[in-house]
Chain A
Amino acid sequence: MKKSVISLFVCSALAAPAAFSSPISNPEIGVVLDGYYQSGERQLSEREEGFGLGHTEINMSANIDDKFRGSLTTVLESHGDHADLLIEEAFIETTSLPHGLNIKGGRFLSSFGSLNNQHLHEDAFAERPVAYRNYLGGHFYDDGVSASVVLPTDLYIRLGVEALSGQQMSAIDDPSTVGIYSATATFGGDISTASSWQLGFSYLRNDNGRVDSFGDHDHDHDHDHPHRFGHDHDHSHSASVTGKHLYGMDFVWKWAPNGNYKYQNLTVSAEWLRLNDATSRDYKFEHDYPGTLDAFYLSGVYRLSPSWSVGARYSEAEDFDVKMYGHYPYFKRETEREFDLMLAWNSSHFGTIRGQYTRAENQRHDREDNIFTLQYVMSFGAHGAHAF
């Protein structure tokens, strides 16, 4: 008797949420599968030559209660015979603060730039532009807190600040615990029914980003420049070159006939990044002192039909190499360039097969590479909405 009462209670408790649940289901669990074959390897890339698995993503997110939302994104990466489980995002955020405020805590993709806080599977190309791979480690996520506000104006204005650990973008052995502070301002609106724009300004201060001395801390690695982390083969997610100040400016423009994105649409995006104080000012009299380094990309993607899209992208990133002659550093400023062409076929909204050709110019190794990639990115389960 008692048992049946309990089971009745349990049943009704389980049935009740279904009856009142909103039409958008909760929690959402989604998996992104990413595999490829490529004929070469791009600089600072996570993808090796030959067959491989890319960014296998498992995402879970749900409202925790009426005040908080939580999201977890793990990434499985396989390198040879072992696999790494990375936590890319694990954060909670508020959903009920007044005045358009939002506070987020945990690990999350930084809001720096326009591409960075989007997941890799949303990209139109197989790799992040070389500008991002050099200065942000492809996609920069970190532990910390962020606060943002969306102003109650017709023009979209979002202001955000972040305080992050900065461990991934540290150039020194004993970094401070809160290494990175960032601020972003994003604006946007519609030009007409058919087209929309977004313009963003970002600033990131990296207290551990500047290299103060060379030669002394050649601790374990076999590379000759201690400020570098993501050298060619360790598939690190850290930035290749860091500095004290990183500035960013980004612009996105999208167009579709009558604003109907289903059949045809065009996305043009560009970002410019500037890195200041990559090394200590003690070296500013040295040859080619890397005081300011610039990087940018410009990309255009056109959807020809619901099934086909084509795209082109050009990206450049300035970097520097340092060689020690006794106590004297010799800097060599270098520029990496990449030009990509992409053709993608969508089996549906959830499956993409992409072919990409990259012409890469690497000054350091004085090489020009032609790389072909054939890749699939497909998802099942819940598929989160994409950002602009």
Chain B
Amino acid sequence: MLSKWLKPATHNQQSRFAPKTLALLAIFAASYALPSHALNVFVCEPEWGALVRAHAPHANIYAATTSRQDPHYVQARPSLISQMRRADLAVCSGAELEIGWLPMLQARSNNAKVQDGQSGMFYASEYVAMLDTHDHVDRSMGDIHAHGNPHVQFAVKDMPRISTALTARLVDIDPDNARQYQANGIRFRGHWHRQITQWEEVAEPLQGLNVVGYHGTYRYLFDWLGIAQVGDLEPKPGLSPTNAHIHSLAQLGADAVDLIVYSSHQDSRPASWLQQRIDKPVLELPLTVEGDQSLTEMIDIVIGDLLKQTGKQTHLPVQ
């Protein structure tokens, strides 16, 4: 490929500009010979962008959604297809979270690298000990996933396993930078393990907290911290809250609930309706990272907000 381009150019300009041209070509060739281009990574949700950045800081990362968007309801829009077309690697939650749009992006992108089963398609949930898996799934149960709860960005304990798998995948796709990925992976996991110890210590007062949530977004986080989701503003996963259902939640009684929680991409009204009835604090938690936040910062914020809102602790130890 390169020689094809070089030959006519050197031939044509041989007479006068040969040295200059050769120098330019040498620069061109050098840049061509370098790891050809920065890795293009498509992430379905911003949290995986933060994870990829921790492992491959030079990658071009494109996030398909923001913290304000429900990842179940995303349009397979043209801009996403064109980003998918250029991706060397796509990183998504999987477990059918993106089933309404990701298959369309894979099909329409005409990109062989990111098809299921190829090394360029990475599903984080494959490396998570899934909660709420079902042998039998029926849509009368709501929009539930047989493979389990897909909101694995808060599967804190499994993040090192995801990191290990992602490192291996990056090495596979871009072996020239293998050492960098491996070193970053080790650094990430070391840091994460230290964080887990710290988080568990800080969040201890949250154990036994009773929360009414909105969807199973924090299932993994609550499971890890010993928080119980005693009610859900959605009558069934994926169905909109109704007045009758809010009323039934109010029957739980004020003693049974410590806190009402919803997420940054959700309608805040159902939480306020319940608050009017049981007079418990309402807390908006982030769905994912904002801007350039790291995953560590995301967990810090969630734990910090929970502690602050429940009055369990007024300040966090300085990180």
Contact = CB atoms under 8 A, between A and B. Distances in A.
Interface of A: 22-26, 63, 66, 69, 95-98, 100-102, 148-158, 186-190, 193, 196-198, 254, 258-263, 305-307, 348-350, 380, 383-388
B76 A387 contact: yes
A66 to B, nearest CB: 6
A202 B108 CA distance: 18
A16 B147 CA distance: 16
**Interface bin, chain B:** 35 or more
Give the residue among A23, A69, A189, A350 with the most B Cβ atoms within 10 A: A23
B69 A189 contact: no
Contacts of A261: 69-70, 73-75
Contacts of A102: 110
B281 interface: no
B81 A156 contact: yes
B238 interface: yes
B77 A254 contact: yes
Given A96-B115, A306-B240, A23 B73 contact: no
B69 A380 contact: no
A47 B117 CA distance: 42
B110 A100 contact: yes
Nearest to A67: B112
Interface string B53-71: 0000000000001101110
B99 A95 contact: no
B175 interface: no
A388 B94 contact: no
Nearest to B72: A262
B245 interface: no
A319 to B, nearest CB: 33
A197 B111 CA distance: 22
Contact of A95 (B66, B83, B115): B115
Nearest to B78: A188
Identify which of A24, A26, A150, A156 gathers the most chain B CB atoms within 10 Å of its CB: A24
B126 interface: yes
Contacts of B125: 23
A193 B66 contact: yes
Interface of B: 65-66, 68-70, 72-79, 81-83, 85-86, 94-96, 99-104, 107-112, 115-118, 121, 123, 125-126, 139, 142-143, 146-147, 150, 238-240, 265, 267
Contacts of B72: 262
A152 B103 contact: no
Given A22-B117, A24-B116, A148-B110, 16 more contacts: A22-B121, A23-B126, A24-B96, A66-B117, A95-B107, A150-B82, A151-B85, A190-B77, A198-B77, A261-B75, A262-B70, A307-B240, A349-B238, A385-B76, A385-B102, A387-B104
20 contacts: A23-B95, A23-B125, A23-B147, A24-B94, A97-B112, A101-B110, A148-B110, A187-B78, A188-B77, A188-B79, A188-B82, A190-B77, A197-B78, A258-B68, A259-B68, A260-B69, A261-B73, A307-B240, A348-B238, A385-B76
A96 B111 CA distance: 7
A262 to B, nearest CB: 4
A151 B66 CA distance: 25
Contacts, number: 150
B100 A156 contact: no
Contact of B82 (A153, A348, A380): A153
B3 to A, nearest CB: 20
B139 to A, nearest CB: 6
A95 B112 contact: yes
Contacts of A383: 100
A193 B191 CA distance: 33
A24 B102 contact: yes
Contacts of A305: 240
A-B pairs with the 5 shortest C-beta distances?
Answer: A188-B78, A156-B78, A385-B104, A258-B68, A23-B94
A302 to B, nearest CB: 15
A308 to B, nearest CB: 10
Contacts of A97: 110, 112
B23 to A, nearest CB: 29
Contact of A63 (B69, B86, B108, B116): B116
Residue in A153, A157, A198, A261 whose Cβ sees the most chain B Cβ within 10 Å = A261
A254 B79 CA distance: 12
A260 B82 contact: no
B86 A152 contact: yes
B79 A156 contact: yes
A149 B96 CA distance: 28
A22 B77 contact: no
A125 B74 CA distance: 21
Contacts of B78: 156, 186-189, 196-198, 388
Contact of A263 (B65, B111, B142, B267): B267
A348 B103 contact: no
Contact of B110 (A150, A260, A350): A150
Contact of A196 (B75, B118, B267): B75
Nearest to B115: A95
Contacts of B81: 150, 156, 158, 188
Given A153-B82, A348-B238, A196 B76 contact: no
Residue in A22, A151, A263 whose Cβ sees the most chain B Cβ within 10 Å:
A22
Nearest to B116: A22
Contacts of B73: 260-262
A38 B104 CA distance: 34
B96 A156 contact: no
Contacts of A198: 77-78
A254 B75 CA distance: 9
A150 B94 contact: no
